[in-house]
Amino acid sequence: MSSQEILNRIESIILEIVTSLSKAEAPVLALPNRSSWANVRYFDLNMLQSVTTIRSDCPSSVTKFAQILKILSVIYRLVQSNSYATKRDIYYNNTKLFGSQKAVDSIVDDISCMLKVPRRSLHVLATSKGLISGDLCYMEEDGTRIDCNSSSTVNIVSSAKFVMIIEKDATFQRLLDDDFCTKLSPCIIITGKGVPDVNSRLMVKRLWDELHIPIFALVDADPHGIEIMCIYKYGSVAMSFEAHSLTVPSVMWLGLLPSDLQRLRVPKDALIPLTKRDESKLCSLLERPYLTSQPEWEKEMKLMQQNKVKAEIQSLTAIAPDFLTQIYLPNKLRYGGWI
């Protein structure tokens, strides 16, 4: 989408507000509802189905109305001048109006959804928190050459055989310490350090688009880890309007599977009972619209529900200190065991 088209869409919103004022009517903004899976039509990625009204004459919404207009004006100037700002920059330029960084983050996504424009096209950036390593060398838009390989051999393009998404930074660092990328070379490992930021998701998407190699997910055998994996594969409800540009439906669940806990006889003292919050999260996941297309995932989640236990990836150290990197992952990647 061209910059001029984005500016036109912003101008049309402002025109509606001015028109309302000229008629002595209170301006209203209609934002797509991004808070419920019931509102998402997963296989129709173009639009959310219902809206939330933000009124300028209502005490409970007037502040948000003002915040949206302020950020719209910032975005307009950024696009018009072809410059960029982070969401953090926007917040610190007017902390009194926004109150919190979270408010800015949410409104930027609301505007992106309202304008039907990917957030990166609004010239508003987020600070990356993800890490990547392995057989990959690429060039940033500004010409900066990035080498993700820790060895001295540099490849112009990746010859990796697979990409592995890792939930936690600690597990990512453990794999680096154990020279995982060298032992199972060529491969790429990436982590979003928990719930992934948009840039980490974009990187996984770009790797799939460019390389078309298997993409595996290594997450804790708990509802939180499963949800993180689902964000990479299917997207989040809050950003379902951008699912087509952020998700990789081919992502496969490598581990830690609930069935692995039984198969490997992980010691009971390494397992953790599900909390009420975990059980609620698990029920919510099982009701997601996309799960009907993943019977094997559903089976694993119901097994967790039945056994009422969860486990972190680190629980495998209860079998042997190097079990994860020396046995579990090599065997799974060579002989199968993903779903």
Per DSSP (E only), the strands in 57-184 are 85-86, 124-125, 131-134, 137-139, 145-147, 163-166
- In terms of domains, do 120 and 187 share one? no
- In terms of domains, do 60 and 177 share one? no
- In terms of domains, do 147 and 176 share one? yes
Domain stop point among 98, 125, 152: 125
What pLDDT was estimated at residue 38? Answer: 62
- In terms of domains, do 17 and 142 share one? no
Q: Which CATH number does the domain housing residue 329 bear? A: 3.40.1360.10
Q: Is there a contact between 290 and 41 (Cβ–Cβ < 8 Å)?
A: no
45: its two tokens:
């990625």
Range 273-283 average pLDDT: 94
What pLDDT was estimated at residue 40? Answer: 59
**How sure is the predictor about 245, in pLDDT bands with cuts at 50, 70 and 90?**
confident
State the chain's mean pLDDT as an integer: 87
- In terms of domains, do 222 and 303 share one? yes
Q: What SS3 class is residue 164? A: strand
Per DSSP (E only), the strands in 121-221 are 124-125, 131-134, 137-139, 145-147, 163-166, 188-191, 215-218
Lowest mean pLDDT among 104-108, 123-127, 307-311: 123-127
Instruction: Please give the radius of gyration of the chain, using alpha carbons only, rounded to the nearest integer.
Output: 22
Q: Is there a contact between 85 and 123 (Cβ–Cβ < 8 Å)?
A: yes
CA–CA dist 215, 204 (Å, integer): 8
Residue 302 has pLDDT above 50, yes or no: yes
What pLDDT was estimated at residue 68? Answer: 93
Q: Which helix (H) or strand (E) holds 72?
A: helix 62-81
Query: What number of other Cβ atoms are within 10 A of residue 160's Cβ?
Result: 23
Range 21-32 average pLDDT: 88
**How sure is the predictor about 156, in pLDDT bands with cuts at 50, 70 and 90?**
very low
- In terms of domains, do 212 and 306 share one? yes
**How sure is the predictor about 45, in pLDDT bands with cuts at 50, 70 and 90?**
very low
Residue 76 falls in the annotated catalytic set: no
Sign of torsion over alpha carbons 42, 44, 49, 51: positive
Range 100-119 average pLDDT: 88
- In terms of domains, do 33 and 149 share one? no
- In terms of domains, do 154 and 281 share one? yes
- For the entire predicted model, the pTM comes to 0.79
- For the chain, the domain total comes to 2
**How sure is the predictor about 290, in pLDDT bands with cuts at 50, 70 and 90?**
confident
Lowest mean pLDDT among 116-130, 167-181, 264-278: 116-130
Domain stop point among 125, 140, 174: 125
Active-site pick, 92, 138, 234, 335: 92
**How sure is the predictor about 61, in pLDDT bands with cuts at 50, 70 and 90?**
confident
The share of the chain scoring above pLDDT 70, in percent, equals: 93
**How sure is the predictor about 153, in pLDDT bands with cuts at 50, 70 and 90?**
very low
What pLDDT was estimated at residue 47? Answer: 46
- In terms of domains, do 231 and 318 share one? yes
Residue 326 has pLDDT above 80, yes or no: yes
CA–CA dist 309, 330 (Å, integer): 25
**How sure is the predictor about 37, in pLDDT bands with cuts at 50, 70 and 90?**
low
- In terms of domains, do 18 and 105 share one? yes
- In terms of domains, do 43 and 173 share one? no
Which structural domain, as residue segments, surrounds residue 242?
131-335
The half-sphere exposure of 140 on its side-chain side, counting CA atoms within 13 A, is: 8
What pLDDT was estimated at residue 36? Answer: 65
**How sure is the predictor about 264, in pLDDT bands with cuts at 50, 70 and 90?**
very high
Residue 31 has pLDDT above 70, yes or no: yes
**How sure is the predictor about 243, in pLDDT bands with cuts at 50, 70 and 90?**
confident
Q: Which CATH number does the domain housing residue 81 bear? A: 1.10.10.10
Domain stop point among 86, 102, 125: 125
- In terms of domains, do 118 and 143 share one? no
